Structure 1
Amino acid sequence: MPASIAASRFRLSVFAFALISILLTGLTLTVQSADKSETKPKVDYSAEMPRILPLTPEEAVESFKIHPDFEIQLVAAEPLVRDPVAMCFDARGRAYVVEMPEYNDANKEGYSSVKLLEDTDGDGRFDKSYPFLSDMTLPTAVFSYKGGVFVGAPPYVYYCEDTDGDRIADVREVVMTGFGRDKGDEGMINSFRWGLDNKIHFSTGIDGGNVTLAADENKKTYNTKGRGVILDPETRTIELTTGGGQHGMSLGNWNREFVCANSIPMQVLMYDDRYIARNPYLAPPAAPVSIAPGGKFTKLLRISQVEPWRVLRSRIRAASERGDYEKGQPSGFFTAATGITVYRGGAWPAEYQGNLFVGEPANNLVYRAAPQPDGLSLVAPRADQDAEFLASTDVWFRPVQFENGPEGALYVLDMYRELIEGAPFIPEEVIKHLDPVGGQDKGRIYRIVPKGFQQPQQADLTKLSLQELVELLESDNGWTRDTAQRLLYERQDTSIAANLKQLATGSSKPITRATALWSLEALKSLDESTLLKGLQDESFQVRKQSLKIAEQSAGAKAIQQQMIALAKDPSLEVQYQAAFSLGAFESLARNAALADLLERHAANQWMRMAVQSSLDQGAGDVFEILLANPKSLDDKRIEPFLIDLAVQIGAQKNEESVSSLLVSIAVLPESHQKLAEILFRNLLSRASNETKQVVAKSNSDQIAKLLKGMMQTAISQATNGKAVVKTRVAAIPTLSIGSFDETQPVFEELLSVQQPLPVRQKAITALGLINDNRVAELLIEAWPGLSPQLRMSAVETLFSRKPWLVSLLEAVKAGDINPGDIGPDRVQLLKTNQDKTVKKMAESLFDNERLTGRSDVIKEYQSSLKLKGSAANGKLVFKKSCSACHRLENVGIQLGADLKAIKDRGTEAVLLNILDPNREVKPQYVTYLLVTTQGRTITGLIKEENANSITIARADGTSDTVLRIDIDELISSRLSFMPEGMEKQINKQEMADLLAYLNSIK
């Protein structure tokens, strides 16, 4: 099953506390008891668990309620197809369908497949099925190319082809390998989509992987975690781009990308991080932006009954943990958003073009939204107010993916399963009345068409001439345009260039003109005159696409001039694209255009990011232009951008830019001295050796005065006990760039027990930025006066550099620090440290109990399941032991997974997850060790990742964003971020209380 379906499974598995929830997909929940007599008696609920039987395909059609303007038609069902999770059409109108019957089968694998379906009589319904590929393991995606198909089946992407005409593949070639394969069958590569740029785009889900191309002799590795992949099907090369979502990615007509995940039904990706990668000093905001106004709280209008097993499970939980019946609804909201798809067909009324469709298999329905512009982003409100676009009364209906078809219809892939949740997460007394693999021999594919739809005759596009293919670019049907464009790319025949140029400049349809331009570019037949016309096209969308194409031709003066002109285009979207595309070349005129863009859109974070993405070169010029403009100096919205540029210039090894910046700062008027101090401080915050040398050699009295005044102000503000705490905290980071000889006494004062907690916390964090061995001495000396929370932060700081870590261990050895102050997770990391000295010291200092052997602890804590828990007391346990990384009822920090959905877990499963978090660690919850080029070590969870930076969330609730150019090593510990050994903090009664509290949350 695709990750999307398992999204529901993920929701059911969301639980953990303390540091992070590690959800053990596929986990065996049978927990051994120390004594069988201690096992809770099992009640026979068979009378309350009537099986809901599957419907026949014909009966299932009658179970649907659909938008009144449409009808749903069955086009394939068992035995032609089973468990469909992805599909594509080839140029002949045949469908390749990925089947995944392995879902929820813990005992077998390797019997999934790809079927080839044909409609031999032209009535729009498939009547022939062939086993194109057999013996597959967990295939997830498919796309047609050059008579064969690319197939995603982690860890591989294959190219498969039938060369002898028997409709069974005799070529199965590995194109790339290394994609993550989740043991819970979720979050894997998915959604192969054809883009305007003549490439195949796809999502890597949540599992990513370290990928290599089979044809690459150098075996270059691509880290695809959190990324999207763009495959050139002709050259078999790839690029990484922005990623996101879990299962489901779709491209709109103009290549705008949408994803979905679990309880997040719709997100748009705000940028292509290939642009971000050009400037390694830029740390951008996260690209996925939720566009559904209600988000995960969107109310769904389900019409199917709530399955008896759900009702029973809720009652069992209520009786055992709360003593009263759970009044909350077990369904009716997004828990398994999957298969997001933009409708691009030509058969529906025009107003439906661009609508978004998302499957919700746990609620047996399909949701529709109608996106609208919202600045540079979108908002996608519900399109159907009183009923879902499509819903079924059949609880076996599991819509997991969609496809735009050759005739303009929208196809719905129905996995058709009795149980879409992961079987291991259903209580034993309930699951025995269900069939976890029920439906693995079934599956349906439907299409949605307007009422009165007449099936057109399907042409075989492979038999068309080049000219006929060019003419098809005028089609209103997205599938037809895509396929014609793809076939032109496959043939690589430049003789058709004149026809394409005529279409690019003369078609009445903007999408046709843009498609023709991209086709010319792919055939290397786009001349300057045609491109210039595209850059001046009456449609802003065509101008946007032309800017992207022009990046490859930016050496031409006329092209540069027109690209610069578009920085003042009437369309905000064109200006945004220009901010990215102007990074393709450098000139003073370009720098002036970028500065102007920034001044006009200083409040827009996306525009600021786009401008900086183009300033790997030219940052100094833009900085100088902005500081020379009095209006910019007085515009507080520009200050964040100036700060970012100052940091970049300081980190870059460009002495000329640093000198220019110093001059610009030095001549600022007295009224802007505060801004001068801020910019100078940020210039030094990540300064390269070259920058430090330029500053040291500076003969400017103003700069010397700035530095001295800045430190004096920081010390004065940080130590002023009468000042507002927020002001004191804001001043502390400046202390980290001064001489430690000067600031050490200040830090000693800031760490004293008389200081407010935020001041002490910030002082510990700032000390981590100072490369001086006396920092460790200072923290160890302050240790007796540190609270548990501050000790956690101090441990994080001391872990960040090897000499400090050794000092920490020596302090434990000397008895100055209690071994219990070092959390079990950190002890485990110490014992697996790559440095032999550290590893040896840790093994000798800490209890040698092997935490990963958890069976005895699990047996011991079985008795907590029989104790009556107090939800009120459990809330206190949560606050003490879980709130560092989880937030419930306005208590704690939301670092880990959302715990609001834990009602869907059985208490035995929850207990096992708590006590043995490392049994199976999901990739998004693995602890990483990041070592910077400056020698710092940061330990934590990867929260965000893009082309340029990684954000590490640490155990003390803080986080660090590190640019990739500053990363020396990134090492996976393979350990859960949730620590083992929680039994040392929570006794059996407290465990019962905690479980009661978590089950009481509505």
Structure 2
Amino acid sequence: MLPRSLALVATLCLLAAVRASAAAPATQSLFDGRTLAGWTGNLQSWRVEDGAITGEIPAGQRLAKNEFLYWQGEVADFDLTVEFRLSGDASANSGIQFRAQKLPDGHAAGYQADLDQGATWLGRIYDEHGRKLLVERGDRVAIAPDGRRWSEKFGEPADYAALFRPAPAWNTYRLHASGPHVELWINGTRVAVLDDHQSDAADYHGLLALQLHSGPGPVKVQFRNLQLTPLGRTQLPPPAAAPVAAAELTVDPKIGTTRRNGDPPLRRNAGVDDLTRLHASPILWHLRDNPAKPTAVANTAAQKVVAGLKLVHGFQAELIAAEPDLHQPVAFAFDDRGRIWVAEAFCYPNKQPEGKGRDNLLILEDRDGDGTFETRKVFATGLNLVSGLEVGFGGVWVGAAPHLLFIPDKNGDDIPDGPPQVLLDGWGWQDTHETLNSFTWGVDGWLYGCHGVFTHSLVGKPGTPDAQRQKIRAGVWRYHPVRHEFEVFAHGGSNQWGLDFNAVGHLFMTHCRSYWGGGGTTYVLRNGHYWNQANNDYAPWISNRGPDFAPDLRNYLLASARYDSGEGGAGKPGTTAVYGGHSHVGTMIYLGDNWPDTYRDHLFTHNLHGHQINHQVNLRTGSAYETFHAGYDVLFAPDATYLPVDLQYGPDGAVYAIDWSDIQHCHNPRDEIWDRTNGRLYRVSWASTFKPARVHLSARTDQELAALHTHQSEWHVRTARRLLQERAAQRPLQPDALAALRRQADDRSAEVTTQLRALWTLHVCNALDVARLEAALGHSSEIVRGWAVQLGTDNPRQLALSAETLTRLATRDASSHVRLAVAAATPALPLADRWPVGAALAAHAEDAADRYLPKMIWFALAPTVAANLPRALDLAERTPLPTLADSLRWFVARTAEGREQIAARLNQLPLDAATRAVRIFAFSLESEAGLKMPAAWPAAAQRLAGAGETTRAALEQLSALFGDKSVLAPVRARLADKATPLPERRRALDLLRRAGDTESTALLVSLLDDRELRSAVIPLLGISADTARAAEGLIARFGTFNAADKNAALAAFTSKPALALPLLRAVETGVFDKKALTALHARQLRNLRHADVTRALERVWGKTSESSADAKATIARLRDVYRNAPVWSYELEAGRKVYERLCTACHAMGGGSSAGKLGPDLSGTWRNGLDYFLENIVDPNAVVGTAFELQIITKRDGTVVSGMIDKETDTALVVRTVTDTVNVPKTEIKERQKTPMSLMPPGLLEALPEREVVELLKFLTTEPR
């Protein structure tokens, strides 16, 4: 069986997308099905038979040499699909030569896509030049200019044998070549990938030929339906110079490396690993020096960075702006005149006090059209924590948490018409590097943006009650500029910062990689629920984990990129992967008109730690996409300060990028570590065709803007669409313009992208009539039909498509892509209308393995399940989609009525279905305890009792949860039996815990001596009915416990009076060490509110009191501050410094001569958690041990000494104060007052900046290393 990650459907989009403006590269048939016209070769070996090119060797014969049939043409960058079949001897062998050279003897030298009957050669890439085997199937190989090789395995070679279909069946071979990048696909599965940069051997163009291997016979190979799509011609770069020490480019491993986990360092230099990335990384080998001449920007440092950039041969990079004209660029946008608006973020990383904002909006303009952007204006100042920017609709759209702002400038004089208007508020800024960002106009007329995972927002128009606001953590949101409506488009993700739409309007975002998501790019579906980096705070119907037998019950969507981007995660700046690192910033899908067509519709994103622009391809897979790395990146910056934030193509087709420029790469809330003195703007263009563009689209007529919809550059199309949308919101559009758009939309002979562009614009201008929409539903293109569904449901308040129409599409449309569009649109329907659509979608067995559809159907139906329990279970029984059925049963089981119905159906389902259902039932309730037994449960349990071990475990768990004590006896027996495997004993303990078992005390006490089980046993003793035996066992063994188990035992003692009293008696009698009790335990004992416990506590500890309302409010506020902060970004060392400044005078942590002695030793107190520290620091006088009560000594001379009594003799007191130890003779004492007060003053935390509060609490609650 093939690895799941390789199983792709046969219908795939091209790696290089078509031009949007003119006809797509023509796909040509290389064989007429009847003759060998257009082919040359030895016709004794080749003929046409059964409509196929046929080569044959009879049994018992051999050829003198391999024979080749040459196509009379040349290939460079191309996509070729060929149907083939092969039969005969087991050694039968053939191949397809490409980019080859014909030698004098007729032999083809060059690349070969190998071909046999699946045993060994099929899918390999071979070089007839003499390099021989280049790529084994299942491998990705990159070859450096000097011939060094790097490989990465994505499948086992033997697994690919199953791809071959023996004759008379036909197979499909697909070859894709784009510059150095080559991919082979067999029957829809990718089998080999090559990136060949070897200067003296790589071929970027040449001949195409079919091979008949010399034998022995019998061999018969046939080819038909040879379809070639030319994709242009990449020029072979000049040979690279051999790496020399003086030219080697190094990057510190803290910033980014190229080696994989476990690999040795590539180079050692003075004992420090400095990795030569340019010459070591297989996706950077091909890059060359930047050929561009310096621009007129007078900044030597910035020019040096640009001059050092490494690019694909043919590109150039230029400096467009730098300090002092530009600082801290965080976002930018082009207006309709081609001017560049830039947001300068001086406030980051901290929001400033009200009225103290320091962020600016600039306008950079190239007035004379020479490409130099010599004019600079300041449009707005005094903004606070700007993170997003876009222009349009008579003003500027600005993200500045907690606000989405609009700054009007209706007359376009570059002077704001008034103060910023607050459109939305409630945006959080707990983590300021992931607030609302990446503003971009969607093809559907909405303003789109991103939002990160560690910021909590409750968004609405000013004055909206919380209950009517929309919650967003990680996600993608959108705002309609005309209807002024806000919605969360999709939930989930990580610290996403980058959005763009591909040629057919599908949305992609880039983000940090996380374990659950795979790579750093995600195809974003409307109403999708994706993994998030925190793996919590999902919708109620999302499970953040799945059992081993049903892993898809982790039922959120994953990233479309599944290749590993490199080591990463919270606070890890480095990487050990070739792609550069885990952090991706900015998203651009190139659809301009300057870069070569081979890059069109490819996705580019800044790899922050790798200092490179990653190059990706989004391939259609099933109903949606999978994202692959394209094999080679386009830019690398050896300068460690290169810190790009965003990239976009402009009206000239070149790509512009803003550079934050700082040695500090990862988010950190400390203001002082950031360099605010610089900032850069670059332009990357294809040098031979670049020309500056002078545009002023707002001066165009409606008809001229409509005509721009056939422009090659999507920038011109999208800008024209936005302007038409603005005008349509104010006045009727010119009839000729609408007529032109309708002709484009209706022209079935035009490219699909051209028709889509017109449909989108008609939609945003409220000119897409129902008849045209319905016609689009019958379009031959699944992409157009899918868009008709989305546009027809874009406004839930005014649906253009009925539930009946969606149900018909869900039932009848043969395209999984259209069914995915229907699933994404279903949440727009009223709840009552969703079931027929969802049920129709759920009937397609062919979608069972699709990555998206079963889960999207679930997201649509889940909010309706509670009101439709029988319907949900009916669907679970009927649907051929296991992922959907499991989610339905899992969610139904979470309500009491649902459990009743599931139990009843377990008696009716076929046995195999019932056994899976009961395991899902048990998984759903694995965190529950003490549930009411469903009426039908006993019968169901009896029916399934003999169904196997895994089912028995589920039945036992459920029966115990439902209060059936009879099942606990065998559980106790397994626990007691030391021969039982440890994992099973652990499960038994957990089941006893969840069942609230109170009859195992003697067994549990005996297990306190078992180090493997002790930690799990202690909490169970806390709920034991035999409290006397439990307390006795815990007290007797407490001294043998480790620190964690001691904490657990004290938690048990302080959980109820029956255990607390034996503990306090043991303290009084000296059997139990009083020092083990902390203020945390004293508070817990006080909170039992039991008179006998309180009296005993006062005898052994001292007086305790309730915190005031003000103190409780402060504790709650600071708890929220800490829990909502991105704690990973706060430095432990900074927290240590706050601790040393405030605490070491009084407290010890781990002893030492410098440790303070006025307060309790804090060693090990990190285990007590956040509340322990908040309660004791905010309200230090609420709980004070007798040893730490403040004593006030008034001497006869009026001097007052306050502190703790360290020692007392018959004649003197030794008093520890904050600053000293004082010896006070008793003869000098006038008055001695003992107060139930702590020496620690209240208000310590309140006096600190919030940043220092978080740093200190992180230090105090983190286990020392």
Q: Tell me which residue corresponds to 1:260.
A: 511
Distance 2:615 2:1001 in 1: 56
Distance 2:726 2:1090 in 1: 57
Q: Tell me which residue corresponds to 1:574.
A: 818
Quote how far apart the aligned CAs of 1:484 are.
2.3
Q: Are positions 1:349 and 2:591 aligned together?
A: no
Q: 1:17-51 CA deviation, whole Å, 9 max, x = no partner?
A: xxxxxxxxxxxxxxxxxxxxxxxxxxxxxxxxxxx
1:645 aligns with one of 881, 885, 888: 888
Q: Tell me which residue corresponds to 2:391.
A: 144
551-560 or 261-270: which moved more? Answer: 551-560
Distance 1:201 1:57 in 2: 32
Quote how far apart the aligned CAs of 1:472 are.
2.7
1:154 aligns with one of 387, 398, 401: 401
Gap change, CA 1:628 and 1:64, over 3 Å in 2: closer
Q: Are positions 1:272 and 2:272 aligned together?
A: no
Distance 1:600 1:666 in 2: 29
The structure in which a higher percent of residues are strand is: 2
Counting only pairs closer than 5 Å after superposition, residues 275-294 of structure 1 correspond to structure 2 as: 281=541, 283=543, 285-289=555-559, 291=561, 293-294=563-564
1:403 aligns with one of 645, 648, 651: 648
Which secondary structure state, in structure 2, belongs to the residue aligned with residue 223 of structure 1?
Answer: strand
Q: Tell me which residue corresponds to 2:425.
A: 177
Counting only pairs closer than 5 Å after superposition, residues 589-628 of structure 1 correspond to structure 2 as: 590=837, 593-597=840-844, 599-604=845-850, 606-615=852-861, 616=864, 620=870, 623-624=873-874, 627=877
Q: 1:605-631 CA deviation, whole Å, 9 max, x = no partner?
A: 5322123233336775575467469xx
Distance 1:102 1:9 in 2: 29
Quote how far apart the aligned CAs of 1:413 are.
0.7
1:471 aligns with one of 701, 704, 707: 707
Q: Tell me which residue corresponds to 1:337.
A: 584
TM-score (structure 2 length as normaliser)? 0.52
Distance 2:395 2:499 in 1: 22
2:380 aligns with one of 133, 140, 146: 133
Distance 1:351 1:138 in 2: 39
Counting only pairs closer than 5 Å after superposition, residues 528-539 of structure 1 correspond to structure 2 as: 528-539=770-781
Distance 2:722 2:301 in 1: 38
Gap change, CA 1:444 and 1:118, over 3 Å in 2: same
Tell whether the 8 Å contact from 1:592 to 1:622 is kept in structure 2 after alignment: no
Q: Tell me which residue corresponds to 2:747.
A: 506
Give the count of matched residue pairs. 771
Which secondary structure state, in structure 2, belongs to the residue aligned with residue 171 of structure 1?
Answer: coil
Distance 2:1090 2:379 in 1: 55
Tell whether the 8 Å contact from 1:84 to 1:100 is kept in structure 2 after alignment: yes
Tell whether the 8 Å contact from 2:345 to 2:386 is kept in structure 1 after alignment: yes
Q: 1:896-933 CA deviation, whole Å, 9 max, x = no partner?
A: xxxxxxxxxxxxxxx999899979x9xxxxxxxxxxxx
Quote how far apart the aligned CAs of 1:576 are.
2.5
The one-letter code sitting in structure 1 at the alignment partner of 2:723 is L
Which secondary structure state, in structure 2, belongs to the residue aligned with residue 371 of structure 1?
Answer: strand
Q: Tell me which residue corresponds to 1:705.
A: 939
Which secondary structure state, in structure 1, belongs to the residue aligned with residue 1055 of structure 2?
Answer: helix
Gap change, CA 1:286 and 1:626, over 3 Å in 2: closer
Distance 1:560 1:414 in 2: 51
Distance 2:1097 2:334 in 1: 59
Which secondary structure state, in structure 2, belongs to the residue aligned with residue 357 of structure 1?
Answer: strand
Q: 1:583-603 CA deviation, whole Å, 9 max, x = no partner?
A: 647488646522322x22323
Quote how far apart the aligned CAs of 1:759 are.
3.4
1:222 aligns with one of 470, 484, 487: 470
Quote how far apart the aligned CAs of 1:981 are.
6.3
Tell whether the 8 Å contact from 2:347 to 2:358 is kept in structure 1 after alignment: yes
Which secondary structure state, in structure 2, belongs to the residue aligned with residue 808 of structure 1?
Answer: coil
Counting only pairs closer than 5 Å after superposition, residues 741-820 of structure 1 correspond to structure 2 as: 741-743=965-967, 745=969, 748-749=972-973, 752=976, 754=978, 756-763=981-988, 765-766=990-991, 774-775=996-997, 782=1004, 785=1007, 808-810=1055-1057, 813-815=1060-1062
The one-letter code sitting in structure 2 at the alignment partner of 1:256 is L
Distance 1:784 1:132 in 2: 76
242-251 or 584-593: which moved more? Answer: 584-593
Tell whether the 8 Å contact from 1:685 to 1:737 is kept in structure 2 after alignment: no
Q: 1:632-675 CA deviation, whole Å, 9 max, x = no partner?
A: 5xxxxx555433323444557989x987x788655545676645
Q: 1:502-535 CA deviation, whole Å, 9 max, x = no partner?
A: 4332272323433433444444443332112211
Gap change, CA 1:672 and 1:222, over 3 Å in 2: closer
Tell whether the 8 Å contact from 1:649 to 1:658 is kept in structure 2 after alignment: no
Q: 1:369-409 CA deviation, whole Å, 9 max, x = no partner?
A: 23333445644444354xx4112343333222112322322
Distance 2:1258 2:780 in 1: 59
Distance 1:342 1:230 in 2: 19
Q: Are positions 1:251 and 2:487 aligned together?
A: no
Distance 2:437 2:1081 in 1: 34
Q: Tell me which residue corresponds to 1:65.
A: 310
Quote how far apart the aligned CAs of 1:87 are.
0.2
Tell whether the 8 Å contact from 2:402 to 2:427 is kept in structure 1 after alignment: yes
Tell whether the 8 Å contact from 1:163 to 1:171 is kept in structure 2 after alignment: no
TM-score (structure 1 length as normaliser)? 0.64
Give the greater-gyration-radius structure (CA): 2
Q: Are positions 1:196 and 2:464 aligned together?
A: no
Distance 2:1016 2:458 in 1: 36
Quote how far apart the aligned CAs of 1:178 are.
3.3
Gap change, CA 1:628 and 1:270, over 3 Å in 2: same
1:90 aligns with one of 335, 359, 362: 335
758-767 or 222-231: which moved more? Answer: 758-767
Q: 1:49-92 CA deviation, whole Å, 9 max, x = no partner?
A: xxxx9844443332222111322222222332222121011223
Gap change, CA 1:362 and 1:666, over 3 Å in 2: closer
Task: Structure 1 unaligned segments of length 5 or more: list them.
Answer: 1-7, 13-52, 299-309, 315-327, 427-434, 633-637, 718-722, 867-910, 922-973, 995-1002
Tell whether the 8 Å contact from 1:132 to 1:167 is kept in structure 2 after alignment: yes
Quote how far apart the aligned CAs of 1:411 are.
0.9
350-359 or 281-290: which moved more? Answer: 281-290
The one-letter code sitting in structure 1 at the alignment partner of 2:820 is Y
Q: 1:402-458 CA deviation, whole Å, 9 max, x = no partner?
A: 1232232211111233544678999xxxxxxxx9554x3322211222122343543
Q: Tell me which residue corresponds to 2:238.
A: none
Counting only pairs closer than 5 Å after superposition, residues 281-680 of structure 1 correspond to structure 2 as: 281=541, 283=543, 285-289=555-559, 291=561, 293-296=563-566, 333-334=580-581, 336-376=583-623, 378-385=625-632, 388-420=633-665, 436-438=673-675, 440-455=676-691, 457-491=693-727, 492=729, 493=731, 495=733, 499-506=740-747, 508-551=750-793, 560-561=804-805, 564-565=808-809, 567=811, 569-582=813-826, 584=829, 586=833, 590=837, 593-597=840-844, 599-604=845-850, 606-615=852-861, 616=864, 620=870, 623-624=873-874, 627=877, 638-650=881-893, 666-669=907-910, 674=915
Distance 1:595 1:113 in 2: 52
- CA RMSD after TM alignment: 5.6
Gap change, CA 1:835 and 1:595, over 3 Å in 2: farther
Tell whether the 8 Å contact from 2:452 to 2:494 is kept in structure 1 after alignment: yes
Distance 2:1254 2:333 in 1: 39
Which secondary structure state, in structure 2, belongs to the residue aligned with residue 273 of structure 1?
Answer: coil
Which secondary structure state, in structure 1, belongs to the residue aligned with residue 759 of structure 2?
Answer: helix
Quote how far apart the aligned CAs of 1:173 are.
2.0
1:236 aligns with one of 480, 484, 501: 484
